[in-house]
Amino acid sequence: MAALIAENFRFLSLFFKSKDVMIFNGLVALGTVGSEELFSVVAFHCPCSPARNYIYGLAAIGVPALALFLIGVIWNNHTWNLVAECHKRGIKNFSAAATFLLFGSIMGRAAVAPVTWSVISLLRGEAYICALSEFVKPSSLDKFPAEYGAEVLARFPCKDVPANLTKFRDEVTRRLRYESQLFGWLIIGIVAVLVFLTKCLKHCCSPLSYRQEAYWAQYRSNEDKLFRRTAEVHSRILAAKNVKQFFGFVALDKEEKELVQEFPVEGVQPSPQWNAITGVYIYRENKGFPLYSRLHKWAKGVEGNGPSPEAHEMLFLTS
């Protein structure tokens, strides 16, 4: 039971434990706010026409949010780790809960930008007012002239109305802006409550100590940085050797010449090694010692991804 609970909530622990993730999410939200402001000033122009207002208003909120969500999914390394896992090994080694939580981790991070966009759009209110102005019931407006209908109400966002309807336009705008901002604040409140509950569950269910979690986060960050840096140097040296073999010489600058002399590259890693270090990783301990990544597991010579007497699975999803 303890292992199952740990499996269910491990990604939440690591998500909120990583300062880099929180900083990245903050930057994403900040960039989304700036983009939404720019869009509202430059690109948003309500058509002020019945039937078109609703489609345009919802599209102004929903289409950018959908695009941001898809971009977030594409940029998330978990997405491609999951694709690689399914392609190479399948997900038979993961329980339904682990698979669900991995999808939840991907969706949660990808949702930062679209939720921010939607909230800012609702707090501004222009798109909401444009979408719903024509649906305001004239009977709800005190002494609204009977000869005017939805066509005039649809023009309220553009302020293109007869002078005798100015006060009604102000009332409709104020009412719809109130509703829009209310929905925006409700979304903020719901997200805040979810974050709070998630953090509480993380603290209650995480079996690892705070220091070990911090160490694991530092290890993953350092491994990723060193791997990328080393891969860049390795690929450059290998490319230099191949170019030299083709042309008989290779044009290297001083720094590249030093790299070639300092780090001799004899060949490339075989595909099985790449496959072994690629994919979704579940935290495990081998004979009481933790294995912090697929690369760490490969370096220690631990085979397979399922539990075994020699390799004890703690069932924690890495972030």
pLDDT tens figures, 179-201: 999 999 999 999 999 888 877 87
Extract the tokens encoding 292: 């912090």
The most confident of 17-31, 163-177, 245-259, 282-296, by mean pLDDT: 245-259
33-47, 77-91, 100-114, 219-233 — which is least confidently predicted?
Answer: 33-47
Extract the tokens encoding 63: 């289409």
Helices 52-75 and 96-110, packing angle to 10 deg: 120
pLDDT tens figures, 75-97: 888 888 888 777 776 666 666 66
Give the model's confidence band at 150: pLDDT under 50 very low, under 70 low, under 90 confident, else very high. Answer: confident
- Please give the model's pTM, rounded to 2 decimal places: 0.69
Q: Under 8 Å CB-to-CB from 56, ≥6 apart: which residues?
A: 46, 47, 130, 131
